[in-house]
Amino acid sequence: MNLFEIIRNMDYTKIKGDTDVEIDRIVFDSRQVKENTLFVAISGFKVDGHDFIEEAVANGAKALVVENSIELDRDIPIIKVKNSRKALAHISDSFYNNPSRNLNVIGITGTNGKTSTTYFIKSILEEKDRVGIIGTLGSNIENKTIKTNNTTPESLHLQKFFNNMIKEKISNCIMEVSSHSIELNRVDLINFNIGVFTNLSAEHLDFHETIENYMRAKLKLFYMTKDFNIINSDDIYGKQMIKELENVDTKLITYGLQSGDIRAENLELSVKGIKFDIQTPKGTIDINMTTPGLFNIYNALAATSCAVAMGVSLETIKKGLEKIKGVKGRFEVLPINREFDVIIDFAHSPDGFDNVLKTVKEFAQGRIVTVFGCGGDRDKTKRPKMGEIASYYSDLCVLTSDNSRSEKTEDIIEEILIGLDEKSCIYEIIPDRRKAIEYAIKNAKPKDIILLLGKGHETYQIINGETYEFNEFKIVTQILNKLDKN
């Protein structure tokens, strides 16, 4: 494509050289420059793309887009812009021929639930249509997945994914939209048809500084959408967003338990799953899902709102939601058929602990027994916080190893103990994780829920710098078989 065409409607401050050159490739990483490449220098956080201009030119860059003034003794076109991330979004959109305009793009934003909601919507829409996904788990079209560094990748990659989806005759793209991506111009110029807001809690404040800024970053998505804004009206920031969006023309659909156009009623929560009715303006559907947790009711409401906005029938929504199976190692209830239950979850942060334990508390009829440790060589401030949260919700905590890496498990446990509240829960220390699980299972009482936190889908443990095979699913089965034999 001709460079002049690519930058035609873009804001720039200066152009040096002749833009009548053919460009076959756009990159923002000097290491990926080949012949006929346009290199866009991005000011980074750790390093700065402008520092790699010489390398990009040496590798054959045919033109440059820069934000800083640069000296170059080669005669290639240089386009100077105010904001090169913004320019990258524009260039990528033009280069791939504005692909998002030919897709139904659904953007999901919020602190929690983005990934699940994305997959819930997919499950409904793919009953009738082909669906592409962009998010934490990569860019996915049916069984082809391309891994990505970011939940919402850089604009160039986003536009390329959209273009691939069009080539594959996909009509719907469901994507997670992180607040970073909004602030860093990754999603500029995307033609969003629908925007979904799940919820907001304090996170990423290292980047946004205040929760107000964090909310305002997310709010920007809803000024970009063309057809529908879908907002969780039970969430306190959701309520604020609804007010802010009062004068926006895009149609608004709200959802929730306490309020909303799309509402869940008659909830039944158990370790086996969730049963509830969804009231919609088109009628009521009864839903029976095998994914436990109140948060999944919210995810189902967000997905239903989206499907209702798109005119999908209630029957299809029910079918799509009810076929959803959990994700490996994420709140996975093991099929052990005993008087107690074992749940494996990947939670390994205070926030993750709070979410999982709060959910278990919603339906626990017996004791909550939590087996966990904390990772070594990683953020130590998490340890007392995880101890505090686990003891707040649990009846018994079994403190053990996670991936201790180069640290001593016993030292990590000492730090967890600083936060653990001995008045609210009893605890045992068993550093060997297999033995800790065995202890919890051997001493389980009817109706107990045993939570194994931290490893999730991982199949290894790193202890004293060595990696050992450690598959929690297999270990639980082995322990149960051993107990049955004795």
Ligand X SMILES: CC(=O)N[C@H]1[C@@H](OP(=O)(O)OP(=O)(O)OC[C@H]2O[C@@H](n3ccc(=O)[nH]c3=O)[C@H](O)[C@@H]2O)O[C@H](CO)[C@@H](O)[C@@H]1O[C@H](C)C(=O)N[C@@H](C)C(=O)N[C@H](CCC(=O)O)C(=O)O
Give the interface with ligand X as residue ranges (CB under 6 A). Answer: 28-31, 42, 44-47, 49, 52, 149-152, 154, 178, 180-181, 184
Nearest residue (CB) to ligand X, 130 versus 180: 180
Tally the C-alpha atoms within 13 A of residue 277's C-alpha that lie toward its C-beta.
6
**Residue 178 annotated as lining a ligand binding site:** yes
Residues 124, 316 contacting (CB under 8 angstroms):
yes
**Residue 405 annotated as lining a ligand binding site:** no
Nearest residue (CB) to ligand X, 26 versus 369: 26
Which amino acid would we find at residue 366? G
Which residue minimizes CB distance to ligand X?
A: 44
Residues 390, 361 contacting (CB under 8 angstroms):
no
Compute the least distance from the CB of residue 18 to ligand X, in Å.
24
Compute the least distance from the CB of residue 318 to ligand X, in Å.
30
**Residue 201 annotated as lining a ligand binding site:** no
Using CA atoms, how far residue 309 sits from 125, 126, 229, 253, in Å, is 12, 16, 9, 8
**Residue 111 annotated as lining a ligand binding site:** yes
SS3 state of residue 158? helix
**Residue 381 annotated as lining a ligand binding site:** no
**Residue 318 annotated as lining a ligand binding site:** no
User: Which DSSP state fits 327?
Assistant: P
Nearest residue (CB) to ligand X, 89 versus 333: 89
Nearest residue (CB) to ligand X, 134 versus 141: 134
Compute the least distance from the CB of residue 68 to ligand X, in Å.
13
Q: State how far the Cα of 433 lies from the Cα of 375, in Å rounded to an integer.
A: 13
Q: State how far the Cα of 349 lies from the Cα of 73, in Å rounded to an integer.
A: 51
Nearest residue (CB) to ligand X, 59 versus 191: 59
Compute the least distance from the CB of residue 268 to ligand X, in Å.
31
Cα angle 410, 411, 415; round to 5: 115
Nearest residue (CB) to ligand X, 238 versus 419: 238
Compute the least distance from the CB of residue 356 to ligand X, in Å.
17
Q: State how far the Cα of 66 lies from the Cα of 410, in Å rounded to an integer.
A: 52
Q: State how far the Cα of 426 lies from the Cα of 447, in Å rounded to an integer.
A: 18
| Calculated CA dihedral for residues 86, 87, 92, 94, nearest 10 degrees | 110
**Residue 150 annotated as lining a ligand binding site:** yes
Compute the least distance from the CB of residue 459 to ligand X, in Å.
24
Residue set of the binding site for ATP: 110-116
Residue set of the binding site: 30, 110-116, 150-152, 178, 186
